[in-house]
A and B are shown apart, each in its own frame.
Chain A
Amino acid sequence: MTTSQIEKGLKKIKSLFGKRALDSTEDLIIYSFDASKKESLPYMVVYPENEEEISEMVKIASEFRIPLVPRGAGSGFAGGSIAKIGGVIISSEGMRQIKEIDEKNMLAIVEPGVITGNLHRAVEKKNLFYPPDPASLEFSTIGGNVSTNAGGLRAVKYGVTRDYVLSLRVVLADGSIIKTRADTLKDVTGYDITGLFVGAEGTLGFVSEITIKLIPKPERRGTLLATFPSTENAVDAGIEIIRRGCVPATMEFMDRTAIELVRSHSGLKIPSGIGSALLLEDDGFEEAVKRSLKIMEEVCLEKGAVEVEGTMDEEKKEEMWKIRRAISPSLAKIAPLRFNQDVVVLRTKIPQLLKLAEAIGQKHRIPVVNFGHLGDGNIHVNFLFKTADEEDRAKGAVRELLRNVFEMGGSISGEHGIGMAKLLYVKELAPPRMIEIMRGIKYLFDPKNIFNPGKVIPRD
């Protein structure tokens, strides 16, 4: 397609959206990046307000072969919302409505631009609960969460975004609009098309409406903080707690370096010489939470915990969470930039993963800090850097880590997605036949490669 053809198409899109289409240099710069620190200028940014508009635009884009890049809050770590080869950013910021909260059927129908934290508050007011809680929930959007199949701290007990998506309305590359499934709890008419769109990072179409499954809001929450002399103790305790029938809502792990950093940079009172720590939380009926706390405490002590404290008191809980929340700001104090990896391994392989991360950090002379979701094996391995030279070395460390994780039978991304940041690793590590199948799916939905080109699936 020639430049003048693209310009013609852009003109049409602009007249479709009027003031809700932006193309000043300023706006394009603002929409050129996300939290991955990669950047590329789009041609235009539009704020659609309904799916008919999007459908119209998709038809134009398809005719003139203009790439379309769906974008929520632009808080992704993988560059999924960046217009890699130019194109029009479809921002969901104009679609912010919670259309319905059905209390009796326990579901909610929402537009993609709803901020996840706002959804949490809205349903919790009605004594309902939407469990997925990615760390970015106060600013990321539900559309973005669906597109990356976001996880969160509560995934060990409640699962990830996919587990709460009943159905989607999607605008496809030919401009047609589909609903992927009935809003019922069960529906096995054919393939699981909904699942294809969850985690597709906007490469298959634009998700314009989401029906979300809700559950009753747990009555109480109990929190327990345990410190251990070594990593192995903590991992053993974590595995055994679940074996004993108590699946905690949260099982956050912090390694020695993470704790030391928090201790020296946050002003929180933490004893020195701790090998690792677990922050456990369970929710449910009061009696059940008490029982869970008891089991968690027993197991932690059995597995050699130095100190264990469980509580249902709000203030004390807050104190415990402060330590976990202080990790990121404390990291920033020693190195403002980092590659935050979201690798996943089987629970039993976590000690092996942590040793590996340590060794890689030493080899590349890059500080490494590990913390994250022990319960589901999703550990955030962070390589810290400041200078360009360190950044290069950190990149080398990431490469080595991902290769090794793959060899351990784990996954290179548990919740951030592939976007453009991990495309190379998919090409290198994923079985060729799997890539072929994914290409086939992409072709079926989007033969002209209009939606978010250059993401998720590597090129030949």
Chain B
Amino acid sequence: MTEHQLFEELKKLSLKYIEICAKCGQCRVICPVYENTGKEPSTARAKISLVEALLSERFIPGKRFNEIISQCTLCMGCMEKCPNDVRVDLIVAVGRFISNENHFSIVKSLLFRYLLMNSKRLGFTLKTIRPFQRFALRNSSLLPRLFKRRYIPKIANKFIREKFGILAKAGAEKGRITFFPGCLLDFFFPETGESLINILNLSGLSVFIPDRWACCGIPAIGYGDLMNAYRMAVHNARLLGDCGGDLILTACGSCGATLREHAPFLFGWAERKIEDVGKRVRDIMEFIHAEKEIRHIFQNINFPKKIFYHPSCHLKRGMGVHGEVLEVIKDIKGINLTVMEDRCCGFGGSFNLKWYEFSSEIGERRVMVLKEERPDYLLTGSPGCAIHFQDLLLKNGLHIKIVHPVVMLKEALLSGQKIPL
């Protein structure tokens, strides 16, 4: 597949959706970007009209186009509101694809084409720069400008694969299941993966962690590098397609949504395996919810904590996983759970990198309620949201533990009192 072929196919697909956009304007109602600017250029229909004009070659994209098309967190809120089910995510990605054509960047091709294509390579690189990162974090003047004055997650001391090898075996093995860790989980938040593995092992499931997986592709999609996103999707589909077993678990809403929804939608026509693999993907909380035996473990625990849950856009809108998470959390006795407003935190990956102030302003609106309520835990299903919230909390001088729900589950198991039967 050449880049040109890919573009032509995705262009065709976009036009199908552009055609049915009624330009009604409802898309702005829960748009985090519009919430901030209050101006039409931030709306989804504005972006759609621009991509439409571009695809029909009515104008040449300039700086302003790049600016407008990059101001989207890809939260899919507009898609939830759209009466015609227009795939705004696709149209924005295609818009960025076009706007990027003229902006070849060596750093980005190194990242997408080389590092994110192979987890082993990425792990090795991160390990190499780990001492430098530690040093720079202590002397912030050494940080590149992009990373100053903001929270940067630490490269983990031990990656998931280093700790568990290729198979995390359960004591009394009843079955095996595949786990796709993804970049952020494996190299920055291994405790999420560890908690997942511990809980599954406890229930008799051995966890298989494949080698040399590629990034799920969401950063590349977000950046508009659809060619590399395609390569990643194909790589992962072949790798995971050959893994035995039935289900593939993720504990990152972004990876899950990409493997299960975005990649099959964007590239399924080119490689059937992408769709087949997508159908097997489950979020860990969704999985626990469906497995009575595992769920049962948490029903006899008391864990009196005040908990706030931020629905990650990728988990809720991308994967459609929401009620399941809440039900599993509510199984635990003593928990005081508040579900936060269902709006994007403002992270949006490349959006946060390019429009940091903007991204923070959106986030500040979400943090207000945390300032008042000061919960013990803030749970969210995507590490992207967690990074952003950590940054916001630090700036506000708040100390709230931000973790994936599965980490809280493990902590509840460890410290929670068993309810006397």
For window 1-49 of A, CB contacts with B under 8 Å fall at 24-27, 29-35, 37, 47
Residues of chain A lying within 8 A (CB to CB) of residue B140: none
Q: Which of B20, B50, B59, B65 contacts A336 (CB 8 A)?
A: B20
Residues of chain B lying within 8 A (CB to CB) of residue A26: 41, 50, 59, 62, 64-65, 68
Are B25 and A75 in touch, CB under 8 angstroms? yes
**Cα-based distance from A372 to B38 in the complex (angstroms):** 30
Known contacts A328-B83, A329-B83; decide if A74 and B25 are in contact (CB<8 Å).
yes
A-B contact count (CB 8 A): 76
In the assembled complex, A136 has its CB within 8 A of some CB on chain B = yes
Residues of chain B lying within 8 A (CB to CB) of residue A35: 22-25
A36, closest chain B residue (CB) = B23
**Cα-based distance from A340 to B339 in the complex (angstroms):** 38
Residues of chain B lying within 8 A (CB to CB) of residue A34: 23, 25
Q: Which of B22, B40, B41, B64 contacts A37 (CB 8 A)?
A: B22
In the assembled complex, B49 has its CB within 8 A of some CB on chain A = yes
Q: Which of B23, B26, B39, B58 contacts A33 (CB 8 A)?
A: B23
Are A337 and B22 in touch, CB under 8 angstroms? yes
In the assembled complex, B28 has its CB within 8 A of some CB on chain A = yes
A38, closest chain B residue (CB) = B23
In the assembled complex, A108 has its CB within 8 A of some CB on chain B = no
A89, closest chain B residue (CB) = B40
Are A139 and B64 in touch, CB under 8 angstroms? no
Are A138 and B24 in touch, CB under 8 angstroms? no
**Cα-based distance from A75 to B49 in the complex (angstroms):** 15
A77, closest chain B residue (CB) = B24
Known contacts A26-B68, A136-B25; decide if A332 and B84 are in contact (CB<8 Å).
yes
Are B22 and A73 in touch, CB under 8 angstroms? no
Are B25 and A25 in touch, CB under 8 angstroms? no
Residues of chain A lying within 8 A (CB to CB) of residue B53: 29
Are B20 and A337 in touch, CB under 8 angstroms? yes
Residues of chain B lying within 8 A (CB to CB) of residue A400: none
Are B85 and A332 in touch, CB under 8 angstroms? yes
Are B22 and A30 in touch, CB under 8 angstroms? no
In the assembled complex, B13 has its CB within 8 A of some CB on chain A = no
Residues of chain A lying within 8 A (CB to CB) of residue B65: 26
In the assembled complex, B46 has its CB within 8 A of some CB on chain A = yes
Interface size on B, residues (CB 8 A): 26
Q: Which of B28, B29, B64, B84 contacts A24 (CB 8 A)?
A: B64
In the assembled complex, A91 has its CB within 8 A of some CB on chain B = yes
A27, closest chain B residue (CB) = B41
Q: Which of A74, A93, A136, A337 contacts B38 (CB 8 A)?
A: A93
Known contacts A328-B83, A332-B84, A336-B22; decide if A138 and B40 are in contact (CB<8 Å).
no
For window 7-63 of B, CB contacts with A under 8 Å fall at 19-20, 22-26, 28-29, 38-41, 46, 49-50, 53, 58-59, 62
Are A139 and B26 in touch, CB under 8 angstroms? yes
A28, closest chain B residue (CB) = B59
Residues of chain B lying within 8 A (CB to CB) of residue A91: 39-40
Residues of chain B lying within 8 A (CB to CB) of residue A74: 25, 40
In the assembled complex, A263 has its CB within 8 A of some CB on chain B = no
Residues of chain A lying within 8 A (CB to CB) of residue B83: 328-329, 331-332
A29, closest chain B residue (CB) = B53
Tell me whether chain A's interface is mostly helix, strand or loop, or mixed: loop
**Cα-based distance from A74 to B46 in the complex (angstroms):** 11
Residues of chain B lying within 8 A (CB to CB) of residue A113: 38
A96, closest chain B residue (CB) = B38
**Cα-based distance from A337 to B39 in the complex (angstroms):** 26
**Cα-based distance from A314 to B146 in the complex (angstroms):** 49
B25, closest chain A residue (CB) = A75
Residues of chain B lying within 8 A (CB to CB) of residue A93: 38-40
**Cα-based distance from A32 to B58 in the complex (angstroms):** 14
**Cα-based distance from A32 to B59 in the complex (angstroms):** 14
Are A25 and B38 in touch, CB under 8 angstroms? no
Known contacts A30-B49, A91-B40, A337-B20; decide if A138 and B85 are in contact (CB<8 Å).
no
**Cα-based distance from A49 to B62 in the complex (angstroms):** 28
Binary CB contact string for chain A from 338 to 382 against chain B (1 if under 8 A, 0 otherwise): 000000000000000000000000000000000000000000000
Q: Among A24, A30, A91, find the residue whose CB has the most chain B CB atoms closer than 10 A.
A: A30
A73, closest chain B residue (CB) = B25
**Cα-based distance from A27 to B40 in the complex (angstroms):** 9
Residues of chain B lying within 8 A (CB to CB) of residue A329: 83-84
Are B62 and A25 in touch, CB under 8 angstroms? yes
Q: Which of B29, B49, B58, B84 contacts A138 (CB 8 A)?
A: B29
Residues of chain A lying within 8 A (CB to CB) of residue B41: 26-27, 30
Q: Among A26, A29, A34, A336, find the residue whose CB has the most chain B CB atoms closer than 10 A.
A: A26
B26, closest chain A residue (CB) = A139
For window 64-121 of B, CB contacts with A under 8 Å fall at 64-65, 68, 83-85
Are B39 and A47 in touch, CB under 8 angstroms? yes
Are B39 and A139 in touch, CB under 8 angstroms? no
**Cα-based distance from A47 to B38 in the complex (angstroms):** 11
**Cα-based distance from A33 to B24 in the complex (angstroms):** 10
**Cα-based distance from A157 to B20 in the complex (angstroms):** 36
For window 117-156 of A, CB contacts with B under 8 Å fall at 136, 138-140
B34, closest chain A residue (CB) = A139
A336, closest chain B residue (CB) = B20
Residues of chain B lying within 8 A (CB to CB) of residue A75: 24-25
Measured CB to CB, the closest approach of chain B to A107, in angstroms, equals 25
Residues of chain B lying within 8 A (CB to CB) of residue A33: 23, 49
**Cα-based distance from A336 to B62 in the complex (angstroms):** 31
**Cα-based distance from A448 to B321 in the complex (angstroms):** 59
**Cα-based distance from A151 to B64 in the complex (angstroms):** 37
A330, closest chain B residue (CB) = B83
Are B49 and A139 in touch, CB under 8 angstroms? no
Residues of chain B lying within 8 A (CB to CB) of residue A24: 62, 64
**Cα-based distance from A289 to B23 in the complex (angstroms):** 38
Are B84 and A29 in touch, CB under 8 angstroms? no
Are A30 and B40 in touch, CB under 8 angstroms? yes
Residues of chain B lying within 8 A (CB to CB) of residue A27: 41, 64
Measured CB to CB, the closest approach of chain A to B29, in angstroms, equals 5
**Cα-based distance from A74 to B23 in the complex (angstroms):** 9
Are B25 and A29 in touch, CB under 8 angstroms? no
Residues of chain A lying within 8 A (CB to CB) of residue B50: 26, 29-30
Measured CB to CB, the closest approach of chain A to B204, in angstroms, equals 37
Measured CB to CB, the closest approach of chain A to B368, in angstroms, equals 17
**Cα-based distance from A26 to B59 in the complex (angstroms):** 9
Residues of chain B lying within 8 A (CB to CB) of residue A337: 20, 22
Binary CB contact string for chain A from 149 to 168 against chain B (1 if under 8 A, 0 otherwise): 00000000000000000000
A47, closest chain B residue (CB) = B39
**Cα-based distance from A332 to B83 in the complex (angstroms):** 7
Measured CB to CB, the closest approach of chain A to B45, in angstroms, equals 8
Of the A-B pairs whose beta carbons lie under 8 Å apart in the complex, a sample of 22, sorted by A's number, is: A24-B62, A24-B64, A26-B50, A27-B64, A29-B58, A30-B50, A33-B23, A35-B24, A37-B23, A47-B39, A73-B28, A74-B25, A75-B24, A75-B25, A136-B24, A136-B26, A138-B26, A138-B29, A139-B26, A139-B29, A329-B83, A337-B20
B residues near A (Cβ < 8 Å) are 19-20, 22-26, 28-29, 38-41, 46, 49-50, 53, 58-59, 62, 64-65, 68, 83-85
Among all A-B residue pairs, the 3 with the closest Cβ atoms: A336-B20, A75-B25, A30-B46
A residues near B (Cβ < 8 Å) are 24-27, 29-35, 37, 47, 73-75, 91, 93, 96, 113, 136, 138-140, 328-329, 331-332, 336-337
Contacts A74-B40, A331-B83, A336-B20 given; 14 further ones with Cβ under 8 A?
A: A24-B62, A25-B59, A25-B64, A26-B50, A26-B64, A26-B65, A37-B22, A93-B38, A93-B39, A136-B26, A140-B25, A329-B84, A332-B22, A337-B20
